[in-house]
Structure 1
Amino acid sequence: MGLFRSGDVIGIADDALTFALEASRETHPDEYMGLLRGEPASEFGLDHDGLLVTDVLIVPGTESNPVSATVKTNMIPNDFSSVGSVHSHPNGVLQPSQADLATFGKGQVHIIIGHPYGREDWVALDREGKRRSLPVYDVEMDDGEEFFHFTQEDIDAELGLDGDES
């Protein structure tokens, strides 16, 4: 399986868009960058063939400044299937730069989020940098509680501590 997943991207989950907007806001005045992950839309009760953007992957070691963000490709997990990318433009311009276009070769959808990072301050683009439709779907997302459901006692037990050491 390749890094980029096949299948048409039909939209983005509201939770994924909200995460990207908040991450862009928190990273300001530097650029934010992440990769987009998609899941079959049918898994969310949508009567569509294709993929729904459900997650934004933050790649460790990503370097950013006010005019660019660079992902260290060697830090992308081997099993990650991307459908595109998301990055912010702290200057608010929602047009892709030449450098942006050079990174759009893979993936089906690329999102640019502009300052002030509100619900209307983003665009979806195709590989060529042309605007495309990307509807936002309010779907029930798995919040991952089971994965992160552990207590300090669980951690202490895993480390072989009896809990009395402070």
Structure 2
Amino acid sequence: MRLFRSRELLGIARETMEFILEACEETHPNEYMGFLRADDARKLGLDRDGQVITDVLVIPGTVSNPMSATVKTNMKPNDIRSVGSVHSHPNGVLRPSDEDLMTFGQGQVHIIVGAPYGWGDWRAFDNEGEQTKLDVIDVELPEEQFFDFTQEDIDAEIRDEEYR
């Protein structure tokens, strides 16, 4: 594993974009909100440095209605893989509102998806709210392991705690 990754964002995995479109449609008429996480491109089999958006993190306690989605910021993890945000505009407007711009400070890219939530119904923006290009990339996503430790890891940690 490389300690320092390239910060260049190469794009978003097709499967991740499909998930976003479906989640936004299922949440309609309320707004959908999530945070984008990326993986190293080489880990995904690409022969170049950079990152690819592979995950959407939905924060527990997010409250949404047709006009907004509110996240409890104290619930948002400090995640090294975090690269931005995604939310929907049920009214179909594909540009950031003033309220959106106030939340665009963290991350490299912010995706807005509008009704009717098809492949042409989304745009990517930078932190200043300027539209930016975000390629959809065909990569095979790694099997997600919610818990990336084993029982042996747990037992070893318990033993270590007992000796402290």
Same fold by TM-score greater than 0.5: yes
Q: Note the C-alpha offset of 1:73.
A: 1.4
Task: Tell me the residue number matched to 1:29.
Answer: 29
* TM-score, normalising length: structure 1: 0.81
Residues 29-70 of structure 1: CA distance to partner in whole angstroms, max 9, x if unpaired? 000000000111111121232110000001100011101111
Q: CA RMSD in A?
A: 1.8
8 Å CA contact 1:113–1:123 kept in 2: the answer is yes
Aligned-pair identity (%): 62
4+ residue runs of structure 1 moved beyond 4 angstroms? none
Pairing 1:96–2:85 present = no
Task: Tell me the residue number matched to 2:48.
Answer: 48
Residues 80-117 of structure 1: CA distance to partner in whole angstroms, max 9, x if unpaired? 63100000000000010000011011100000000000
For 1:80 and 1:40, the matched residues in 2 are separated by 12
1:56-75 to 2 correspondences below 5 Å: 56-75=56-75
* TM-score, normalising length: structure 2: 0.81
Task: Tell me the residue number matched to 1:113.
Answer: 113
For 2:33 and 2:20, the matched residues in 1 are separated by 9
8 Å CA contact 1:96–1:129 kept in 2: the answer is yes
Residues matched between the structures, number: 143
8 Å CA contact 1:8–1:108 kept in 2: the answer is no
For 1:129 and 1:55, the matched residues in 2 are separated by 22
Letter in 2 for 1:19: F
Task: Tell me the residue number matched to 2:160.
Answer: none
Which stretch has the larger CA shift, 39-48 or 75-84? Answer: 75-84
Q: Note the C-alpha offset of 1:125.
A: 0.6
For 1:28 and 1:93, the matched residues in 2 are separated by 14
8 Å CA contact 2:39–2:81 kept in 1: the answer is no
Secondary structure, in 3 states, of the residue corresponding to 2:95?
coil
Letter in 2 for 1:125: F
Task: Tell me the residue number matched to 1:81.
Answer: 81
For 1:9 and 1:104, the matched residues in 2 are separated by 16
Structure 1 unaligned residues grouped into runs of 5+: 149-166
Q: Note the C-alpha offset of 1:147.
A: 5.0
For 2:95 and 2:78, the matched residues in 1 are separated by 31
Structure 2 unaligned residues grouped into runs of 5+: 148-164
Letter in 2 for 1:13: A
